[in-house]
Structure 1
Amino acid sequence: MKNIDKQIGELLFDRILETTENKSLKPKEKIPKYRSILDDLFKALTVDAKQYISGLNARSIYIFNEYETPKNIVDNTHALRKFANQVVHETEFQPTELDDKKSVYQLAEVISHFSKEAIPLKIIEYYQSSIDEITKKTAFKRPSLPTYDLYAVIEDVFIPFGEIEGKFCVLTCNTDSLGVIKLKLWNNKNENGFGSDLSVFGKIVEPYQNIYVTNVKQYKDKEEEFFTTDKSYVVLEPDYLIDAKELSECRQFNNKSFGKYEDNPLLYILNRFTKGEITDRIMVGNIVGKMLDDLVTDENYNYKSSFETVMRENSFGMLCIANEKGEYDRSKIQAIFIEANDHEKQLKQIIQNYKGKEIILEPTFISNKYGLQGRLDMLIDYGSESQQKDIIELKSSKNYPGTNIGLYLNHEAQTMCYDLLISSTYPNRIGYNSILYSSAPIEEKPLRNVDAGEKYLSKQELLMLRNRIVSSELKLARGIYEPFLEILSETFGPYPKFLEDLVVEFKSTIENLDETLKSYFFGFLKFIYRELQVAKIGSNDSYNKSNGYAELWKASKSDKIENYDVLIYLKVKEISDDFHIKLSLDKNIFSSVVNVSSFRIGDTAILYPTPNPDEIHPLKSQILKCYVVSVDANSIEISLINKQLNKNYFTNSQYWALDRDFRETGYKQLLQLLYEFLKSEKRVTDLVLGLSRPQFDNSIEIPKNGLDEVQYENVKNAVRAKDYYLIQGPPGTGKTSKVLVEIVRNLANPNNDIMVVAFTNRAVDEICEKLLSLKINCIRLGKGDKTYYWSDLSGRLKLDELNEIIQKNNVYVSTISTFANSLDILKFKKFETLIIDEASQVLEPQIIGFLKHFKKWIFIGDENQLPAVVVQSINDSKCDDAILNDLSLKNFRESLFYRLKKNAIKRSWTDCYGTLKFQYRMHADIAEFPKKEFYKNVLEESNDSQRTKIVDQSNFDSNPINQLFTKSRIVFVPSKIDLRSKINNEEAKLVAESIKHIADVYGEDFDPSKTVGVITPFRAQIANIRNHLDHKFQDITIDTVERFQGSERKIIIVSFAVKSTTQLGAIQSLNDEGIDRKLNVAITRAKDHLILIGSEDVLIKDRTFKKLIEFIKEKNGYLLNPLKVKSVPTDLF
């Protein structure tokens, strides 16, 4: 039998009590919380499952089938899940008090069974008075309908053999509405090969996977047997979204039969590894798209203006084309200008055809039925009185199909996918689907109709193509490489002719890898696909979100609010011309529910209407992708990605919701860079793998320029390096402000162009400011309003002027993600040196693909501070390959910086790495613990001011809070465990009172950005602390430790807000030496005072926390909460 840990059981029971004892909650609000607890139970039960199981239903079925489970536990689980789903999805449905008690009974019974823990008496008392009604049996009644659309979990697959092989397959499906059924999927092809074969799905699907199927019928004489029809759609894991355009590119002409097509799902995988070349064809397409946008939205449309906008926004691409032959040639750009202008007449005519209708440009839609997402070019809306919506897809290729062919098959497939998307969002939609070949003359009918409405066969095959892609990607995430290896086979195809060279190169590159590179490639291949899977649909890891991006449509409103994933009851306050939208919080309804602090500047998000704010249905309208520009206590400002929206759209709803977004491009980028690395010369691959020792030119000397002796030695070694050098910079040692800028100052010259990259925008901002303060000119890649930003330069200067500046400038600075999106610069600009700051926060595949473009690399980081962000569990990312272990690669989640350093230590290459020694930030009393625990006593204070005694603050003795600052530099205050998870009110009150006291002490010298900062691991506690703070302190940074790395405050307050040892894993990040990197960063942000608040009973269960608390006790810093200690007036005696 499968059991969970006793502590998890206790925690789950505590969460039930937390809900039942909250008198402000109604049954409608309580029951979704019970479902969330049930979900976490089965996540804990399936955490070790060999395959990922998506969703509560699938997880519970897996446990019940794999481990013998009593019928009453099975029934209680399914009954609670189904009922909770009804409560969540049926807005008008109001559950009763009895329903609430029944749900608690069912949940408690299930938890008790799997934890072997007795149900707490308080919980039993909650439902005991109604136990007779609760335990009444109700008979299951299967509904009777002509056809059924249903979601199901697969329990078993039967594929027949012999004479009936290939005619059908049978799936044993567990459904909510029909119970367990047998579903027969037929091969509907006739003797001429016409019709669809749904039976192949049996070879794709696996037990415990989820499916969605439509138009299912029941056999008349067999109650539990159903079958698909010629109008049935079958979808594997519908929450796993596939892009419509990328899917359609897998539909290719069948060379053996004119007009026929063949679907090749492996093209989708191959295309993930390749980045399309910038060509004049792509640039013309961008310009034609912009022309269309401006013709629709700008009354003062001017072609030259549209062209200039595209040229400035795609300046790297334009410079690539202009420098194609090694020197700048403006005639290439002139040719693009002329060719794109030829499309204008056709575009104007089409727009004229739809005069009086609303033309919606570039709307984005998601379907969680068909597992598709896509952005259309145009959607023609005929108004609220009509269900008609026409789809128009723009194709600007010069090679358009003649009228005898009509449509290219991949274009037709793309439009059919859009038809599925629109019908999923607007079920009653009618309308036409068309493709606009804008290069075709008017007389050749550039607007071509796509008869998608009744083309069930083509759509069935498109969805089956999608299913094969999903199956392949999920296999790769488990390390099953057959789908990838099929690309290398001789039978791979069909594929378009323009990919022929790429296919040959790809096969040759992979097939010629030596054993080491092969292990490296396939290890990271699995790791990246696993990351993609977790980001899309989640993992079994209970510390992660259960559904990945699918939380957008799967999570209930109450769960989203509890996890601070959504802002609701937002009203549109202002809309600027460039679609910066200010949204205000309706304070009367909203302020007590959630806090705006859950979203931060730069976060990507999704905005959608909520006409009834008690319901949130993000997929019932187009998705508005955006990013957060500014946040304050009463409002949030976002910037839309799609600037072509009609402002009238925002009059359709009084209230709006802001949800979290997910961008898949980063994962594709990882695969592209991994493949680019394989194509590197042997010198590069050997250095990266740690097989070759880096070389140095020890004849080079440099000036000291105010560096301390250890900084000087490390800068000198970095300058002398011919291949690479690694610098570890513990907290406050000046690794960026001093060491990095001095390396740049010593290396930058007309013959040595430098690219400096860092993981965060904050680090890049600091680097640019430091360089400019030293009169070192630099250009920052990306968007910004300062004069050294590339976006500002490209917005002001002509293309030939940009070309001249880019060739003359020696120093470039960028975030790693922006640089990875700007690699076209390397086609017309040669660099010598790459400097990577925050190198310990960067995954290997994020950088290895562009190392070959630089002669030498300098890594600056600290393996004892925050690592790279990875969403899969540490066990899933572990490396068990002996070849890679020998290269010091033990876990794929670690940075290249850390691995190369471990490898160098192992091989005694002591000259290729160094560690900074003198720290300039922390008082010695604060630095003492991390110095011993994390840095083997290497750190030293740089000056005597870091050893001064605590300043006398006797004027404030009457305030009990004052003792937190007069007893010791580092203080621990034990707190009582709060009933709620991720929230602690006692800690929040103490934080708020401490800040108030600090402000009083500092008076006019109090600076919210420098004096004090608050670190806490949970968004719920961030919001809780803010809700306790006076409004005048809202500018103080209260955030997770991730947002604090690289910054410092005079006083740091840490609120741990943990209630059980199971939460410790969520607030820690241990490296393979056992160093808690999150704790290290948290306590090393403080200059003068460090205050830690948390449950001692929980924290001391961890070795490092126990050591820390014992250390603080030795330093006289262990203090009881001053707000709770009764005091006696000092003047009484």
Structure 2
Amino acid sequence: MNYKDVNSELFSRVLELTRLYDTADAKSVNKMAHETLVLTCHEGLRDTGQAFGNLFSQVDYLCKRHNVKLPDWIAVQAMRRHTNSSEPLSREDFFYDMRALSRFISAVTGTDVPGELLRVLPAERKPYTKAEGTDVRYVRCIVRGFDDKYIYVSAEEVLGGAMLAADYTADDLTYLSELLREGMQLNLLDCKLEGSCTYSGSEGDVKCDIIVPSLVIVEPDYLIDISSISACFKEYGHHPLIYTLDRMKPRANSQAILLGNLAGSVLDDIINSHGTYNMASTLKKSFSEKALEYSTCTDFNPAVFKANAAVQASNINAAVTGMFGEYDRSRVVLEPSFVCERLGLQGRVDLMTTDFRLLVEQKSGRNLNIERAAQSGGKGLQLEPHYVQLLLYYGVLRYNFNLGFNKTDIRLLYSKYPPAQGFLAVAFYRKLFAEAISLRNKIVAADFDIALDGFDSVLPELTPATLNTTKTASSFFQRYLLPQIETVTGPLAAMPPLEREYFCRMMTFVYREQLLGKVGSQEGVTSCSADLWNMPLAEKLETGNIYTGLTIKAKECAEGSSVPDRITLSVPGQGEGFLPNFRRGDMIYLYQYRADSVPDVRNAILYKGNIDELHTDEITVVLTDGQQNPDVLQVQHPEDMPDDMHKAMVYAVEHAGTDASGSSGARALLEFVTAPDDRRSLLLGQRAPRRNESVRLTKSYNPSYDDILLAAMQASDYYLLVGPPGTGKTSMALRFMVEEELTRPGASVLLMAYTNRAVDEICAMLEDASLDYLRLGSEYSCDRRFKHRLIGEAVRNCPRLSDIRERIASVRIITATTSMLMSRPFVFSLKHFSLAIVDEASQILEPGLIGLLAAHDHEGGVRTRCSIDRFILVGDHKQLPAVVLQSETESAVSSESLRAIGLDNCRNSLFERLLRTERAAGRTEFTGVLRRHGRMHPDVAEFPCREFYASEHLEPVPLKHQKETSLNYADTGLTDKLDTLLRTHRMIFIPSQPCRRPDVSDKVNTSEATIVADLLSRLYSMLGSSFSASRSVGVIVPYRNQIAVIRKEIEKTGIKELEDISIDTVERYQGSQRDVIIYSFTVQNRWQLEFLAANCFMDDARIIDRKLNVAMTRARRQMIMTGNVETLSHNAVFREMISYVESKGGLFRYYE
């Protein structure tokens, strides 16, 4: 993108803001100012390879990069804070902010502020005044430099953004010298001011206030799960790389783990039972929910398990009885979650009271200290990892809710023992708490180092000698602990050179994705977990990432639950243009807040759950843990709501984050490294795939598919099937492959896909074919039609474990998303699959698939038999790929060895790499293309087939609608030119008018919204009684903001049936189809073309625009597009498309 174009637009926006101040509302002005700052940062940061937790750090980085002086840094940071709010500024302060923004734009772009703008802005910056009486309990800041005594930081808000010198000479802070780097964000907690000193930096000498923190939190936006930190406190020490090691270990499944899970459910059920507890119901529910885990647990002994469970239940019951002699049972909440940005932690507590007087963490395992009645290093009977976990939970409560010292009674419940021995009251132990925070900081610093410097920078340190920080050599360590460590370190040390390069590059990619997923890269460009507290409320509402002002309408018990866990909430108006970015099955946080305040997850008790139903005026969530307490999550009737909004309590719903993808990627790569030599060589292109030419089909399935079916069945290792849009990948090819495979004696098939939607389609195909199967997954992410196929549902009435095992072992087809299978790989210990078929393979990144294809039996050695004999990957690399947060430059591969095997960028799928390998080798027997498409009419298909599928030589089946010579629209009596064009042309382009407005988002185009609504109204009339909202027409847009504007225009038509049509982004439309597709390009600025054409690549000297390809290939009978010709013409593919439509007579000038 030409910087000159962007510079002009940025300065024009600032000038427009100065004119809007007196006429527009503060919310609109602040929002536009904020967007301008975000856009400036986006342009300045492109391809920098940096991760930024928030806009604060982005502005700081660019100020340093472009030598912006401290006073201007303070001014632009103040401007950033002001634009996060909807509150109006004084005219004087607003124009000072515009001056700061203009100077920042000038510095970043290297251009002078236009004279027209200079004439209306203040000549001097706002005089700096030091804030008095500042609260220094919490300081968010960025490191500018450091020496042996002080960390020199720029504070975000306190002291007017002044430079501070943080004294870190305290014994428990000196370790920070090994972690610090310029640009790092810190939280300084419980501070006091002590004098001043001078910092000599690039800007000369700067006077700094000295601040002495009690705690320092490194990169606080990078949340670490509390249980993961406590698990790093081992008998042999607590090195930060233990965290790295633990993430790679295969997911364990043992009787002890199952007993721990059951004990947690027992505690919940006893609390919820009010004295009528029945352990049999807890066991039954546990068996149903974890049927796969129980049936695949190799050391499971039913009799011992039930006896141990009975002991746990008896002890828990006694502990609960004693607990509520002292504490108020009505205030108990179970499994509440917390997000603590101040400490950089997140976690879920077993039990607490809403008045914070009681905090309990339960442990079901053995405690030798209790059995020996011995003291543990002066720290009591509790085990150190459990003590650490409880102390960190207590710290979260203290810092989130500003609790006083000793406000909370903190206890560990060792439920293997009677309460007199196992219900331990423990005290806050600051030294151990500081050690835990220190380890948390070291873990975060290590993760950042891996992401920035590469995994090969830490690989040499992943040895037992490094991790054994206490240098223990006990018999217990040698016999039990060392072998556990070596299951990971041994294979890593033995990797051959190519595997080592592959492993390290992919691990680096996984860590970078995780980093960006946690802290983000650029605000407004990618989403991340830290958006929960960094994203302004106005932006959350605009992006649909929050529901606010909710009230509880009803509480019910979900199926199989005995406590209210199904919560229906009334949704009031969320503001003009609100469009929720939630889907059924999404994991969410539900939390309460005061109606007159801004909702903030950091100041609330969070209830985790899944969305089950979504409607305009209400949503229903099912909590992960139901709450028996009637005072928690109360039903609220409108007449009961207080008039004083300061007293009214309402609810919010936001997305709940997870670290699952990073951990599963790391585990998958270790699974690959430990796989049999033959499979590793195959996947790394070191040996050619094999085939058995003696294999023959048992019958003819379809003449158009038989050749491909035969080749796929003859492939002994893998087969790659390219399935362009509408070629029957699932309904025909996949079905025939499954049916043919099942003719082989003893065959079992594993069917996987990237999305639940695709798995639903697979399930529909299996149902149509009357094939028996089971599905792994959650009922909230599964179409209700297939709920009975979920393993938990299918075995609900199996009374014995042997029956459960038999049901799973005997079924010949298992289906699941790849992510679900990675999180629950236990099925491989019960079933061996002769064939795995992966749909949507081109959307799955290598770490998300290679571990499944390399899955193997770990019993009896490292490298044994693979769990899958052969696999078929089905995909289309010319449609939208997997979402990658890194830029193409960051994910690029420089290693010649890796590039030689086709791995030139980690953002490409394994499917694409293997396809490239086959083509480079000149082999055709292991790849196939489905060439006959049954979706698009030939007139619709001509352009995408010519531009995007030239080498695939696609042709229509043809089906009935593909043979039609006319659209057969009904005569409505209208005779204008547009109606005539709609009746006679299948490819249409309508230029929109420029309609940019400074108070309207750039992601909105009102001209196109008007055009789309008019088109829909005309099509509705032409289709008459044959109109169907789910089949006839769909609308595709690049931005979600445009959806709301189009919906508003549709309402003006007064046609009720049009309200139900699907309007969505290209990404959400992939896999769908409609008779007519209307595509609103929306963009009006040249810099937006980067986003619109972000998924392009070269193939056979042609530009393949994946996004445009997906949009155009959704249409069966007619494709209509509208866009700003002047803007779109700057892109070669769009220019060619418009020219093509015009040459066919399909260009219509709506406004002439």
Matched, 1:281 2:256: yes
Deviates more, 1:483-492 or 1:982-991: 483-492
Q: Deviations over 1:806-842 (max 9, x none)?
A: 2221111111122222211111222111111111111
Rate the CA distance shift 1:392–1:227 in 2: closer, same or farther, 3 A: farther
In the alignment, which residue of structure 1 is the partner of 2:315? 343
- What secondary structure sits across from 2:569 in the alignment? strand
Give the Cα separation in 2 of the matches to 1:930 and 1:176: 53
In the alignment, which residue of structure 1 is the partner of 2:10? 12
Sequence identity percentage: 26
Give the Cα separation in 2 of the matches to 1:66 and 1:114: 8
Q: 8 Å contact 1:362–1:377 — kept in the other structure? A: yes
Task: Kindly state the Cα deviation for residue 15 of structure 1 after the two structures are TM-superposed.
Answer: 4.8
Q: Deviations over 1:266-319 (max 9, x none)?
A: 111111111342111111111111111011113342111111111111111111
Rate the CA distance shift 1:1039–1:51 in 2: closer, same or farther, 3 A: closer
Task: Kindly state the Cα deviation for residue 371 of structure 1 after the two structures are TM-superposed.
Answer: 0.3
Matched, 1:436 2:425: no
In the alignment, which residue of structure 1 is the partner of 2:964? 948
Give the Cα separation in 2 of the matches to 1:944 and 1:450: 74
In the alignment, which residue of structure 2 is the partner of 1:662? 657
Q: Which of 223, 226, 245 is equivalent to 1:270?
A: 245
- What secondary structure sits across from 2:661 in the alignment? helix
Task: Kindly state the Cα deviation for residue 50 of structure 1 after the two structures are TM-superposed.
Answer: 5.0
Q: 8 Å contact 1:252–1:263 — kept in the other structure? A: yes
Q: 8 Å contact 2:136–2:158 — kept in the other structure? A: no
In the alignment, which residue of structure 1 is the partner of 2:642? none
- What secondary structure sits across from 1:80 in the alignment? helix
Rate the CA distance shift 1:434–1:336 in 2: closer, same or farther, 3 A: closer
In structure 2, give the amino acid aligned to 1:563. T
In the alignment, which residue of structure 1 is the partner of 2:488? 506
Task: Kindly state the Cα deviation for residue 1096 of structure 1 after the two structures are TM-superposed.
Answer: 1.4
Give the Cα separation in 2 of the matches to 1:221 and 1:344: 55
Q: 8 Å contact 1:972–1:1117 — kept in the other structure? A: yes
- What secondary structure sits across from 1:1029 in the alignment? helix
Task: Kindly state the Cα deviation for residue 344 of structure 1 after the two structures are TM-superposed.
Answer: 4.0
Task: Kindly state the Cα deviation for residue 456 of structure 1 after the two structures are TM-superposed.
Answer: 3.3
Q: Would you say how many aligned residue pairs link Structure 1 and Structure 2? A: 1070
Give the Cα separation in 2 of the matches to 1:793 and 1:34: 55
Q: Deviations over 1:180-203 (max 9, x none)?
A: 445353444xxxxxxx43122121
Matched, 1:515 2:514: no
In the alignment, which residue of structure 2 is the partner of 1:1130? none
Q: 8 Å contact 1:186–1:228 — kept in the other structure? A: no
Q: 8 Å contact 1:44–1:540 — kept in the other structure? A: no
Rate the CA distance shift 1:1045–1:51 in 2: closer, same or farther, 3 A: closer
Q: 8 Å contact 1:787–1:793 — kept in the other structure? A: yes
Q: Which of 1026, 1038, 1043 is equivalent to 1:1017?
A: 1038
In structure 1, give the amino acid aligned to 2:215. Y
Q: 8 Å contact 2:454–2:504 — kept in the other structure? A: no
Matched, 1:177 2:158: yes
Give the Cα separation in 2 of the matches to 1:688 and 1:523: 15
In the alignment, which residue of structure 2 is the partner of 1:447? 423
Q: 8 Å contact 2:610–2:621 — kept in the other structure? A: yes
Give the Cα separation in 2 of the matches to 1:146 and 1:1084: 58
In the alignment, which residue of structure 1 is the partner of 2:53? 54
Task: Kindly state the Cα deviation for residue 569 of structure 1 after the two structures are TM-superposed.
Answer: 2.9
Q: Which of 282, 295, 309 is equivalent to 2:285?
A: 309
* 1:373-772 alignment runs, 5 A limit: 373-382=346-355, 388-399=356-367, 401-402=369-370, 403-405=373-375, 406-429=381-404, 430-444=407-421, 446-452=422-428, 455-481=429-455, 482-488=457-463, 490-494=465-469, 497=477, 498-540=480-522, 543-545=525-527, 548-578=528-558, 579-587=565-573, 590-592=574-576, 594-596=578-580, 598-613=581-596, 615-644=598-627, 646-651=629-634, 654-703=649-698, 705-709=700-704, 711-748=705-742, 749-772=744-767
Give the Cα separation in 2 of the matches to 1:146 and 1:1114: 68
Rate the CA distance shift 1:70–1:264 in 2: closer, same or farther, 3 A: closer
- What secondary structure sits across from 2:397 in the alignment? helix
In the alignment, which residue of structure 2 is the partner of 1:153? 142
Give the Cα separation in 2 of the matches to 1:172 and 1:352: 48
Deviates more, 1:361-370 or 1:973-982: 973-982
Q: Which of 1097, 1105, 1110 is equivalent to 1:1071?
A: 1097
Give the structure-1-normalised TM-score.
0.90
Rate the CA distance shift 1:820–1:315 in 2: closer, same or farther, 3 A: same
Q: Deviations over 1:904-947 (max 9, x none)?
A: 10011211101111111100011111111111151011127414
In structure 2, give the amino acid aligned to 1:317. E
Q: Deviations over 1:976-1009 (max 9, x none)?
A: 2332311111111222222222222222221111
In the alignment, which residue of structure 2 is the partner of 1:919? 933
In the alignment, which residue of structure 2 is the partner of 1:1045? 1070
In the alignment, which residue of structure 2 is the partner of 1:827? 829
Matched, 1:1086 2:1112: no
Task: Kindly state the Cα deviation for residue 1090 of structure 1 after the two structures are TM-superposed.
Answer: 0.5
Deviates more, 1:532-541 or 1:1075-1084: 532-541
In the alignment, which residue of structure 1 is the partner of 2:857? none
Task: Kindly state the Cα deviation for residue 225 of structure 1 after the two structures are TM-superposed.
Answer: 5.0
Q: 8 Å contact 2:752–2:818 — kept in the other structure? A: yes
Give the Cα separation in 2 of the matches to 1:301 and 1:25: 61
In the alignment, which residue of structure 2 is the partner of 1:1060? 1085
Q: Which of 986, 991, 1003 is equivalent to 1:969?
A: 986
Give the Cα separation in 2 of the matches to 1:76 and 1:236: 25
Q: Deviations over 1:933-972 (max 9, x none)?
A: 1111510111274143223547235165524522410111
Rate the CA distance shift 1:814–1:184 in 2: closer, same or farther, 3 A: closer
Task: Kindly state the Cα deviation for residue 571 of structure 1 after the two structures are TM-superposed.
Answer: 2.8
Rate the CA distance shift 1:234–1:1052 in 2: closer, same or farther, 3 A: same
Give the Cα separation in 2 of the matches to 1:146 and 1:1094: 52
- What secondary structure sits across from 1:955 in the alignment? coil
* 1:773-922 alignment runs, 5 A limit: 773-784=768-779, 786-798=787-799, 799-852=801-854, 853-922=867-936
Task: Kindly state the Cα deviation for residue 253 of structure 1 after the two structures are TM-superposed.
Answer: 4.3
Give the Cα separation in 1 of the matches to 2:93 and 2:126: 14
- What secondary structure sits across from 1:573 in the alignment? strand
Task: Kindly state the Cα deviation for residue 228 of structure 1 after the two structures are TM-superposed.
Answer: 6.2
Give the Cα separation in 1 of the matches to 2:838 and 2:970: 47
In the alignment, which residue of structure 2 is the partner of 1:192? none
Rate the CA distance shift 1:637–1:23 in 2: closer, same or farther, 3 A: farther
* 1:82-93 alignment runs, 5 A limit: 82-84=81-83, 87=85
In the alignment, which residue of structure 2 is the partner of 1:1128? none
Give the Cα separation in 2 of the matches to 1:457 and 1:336: 36
Structural RMSD (CA): 2.7
Rate the CA distance shift 1:147–1:920 in 2: closer, same or farther, 3 A: closer
Task: Kindly state the Cα deviation for residue 372 of structure 1 after the two structures are TM-superposed.
Answer: 0.5
Unpaired stretches in structure 2, ≥5 consecutive residues = 199-206, 376-380, 471-475, 559-564, 637-647, 855-866
- What secondary structure sits across from 1:240 in the alignment? coil
In the alignment, which residue of structure 1 is the partner of 2:1016? 995
Task: Kindly state the Cα deviation for residue 45 of structure 1 after the two structures are TM-superposed.
Answer: 1.7
In structure 2, give the amino acid aligned to 1:576. E
- What secondary structure sits across from 2:906 in the alignment? coil
Give the Cα separation in 2 of the matches to 1:184 and 1:552: 28
Deviates more, 1:1001-1010 or 1:612-621: 612-621
Q: Deviations over 1:369-405 (max 9, x none)?
A: 11000100011234xxxxx432111111133532432
Task: Kindly state the Cα deviation for residue 28 of structure 1 after the two structures are TM-superposed.
Answer: 5.2
In structure 2, give the amino acid aligned to 1:664. D
Q: Deviations over 1:1076-1096 (max 9, x none)?
A: 111111100100001111111
In structure 1, give the amino acid aligned to 2:619. I
Q: 8 Å contact 2:291–2:791 — kept in the other structure? A: no
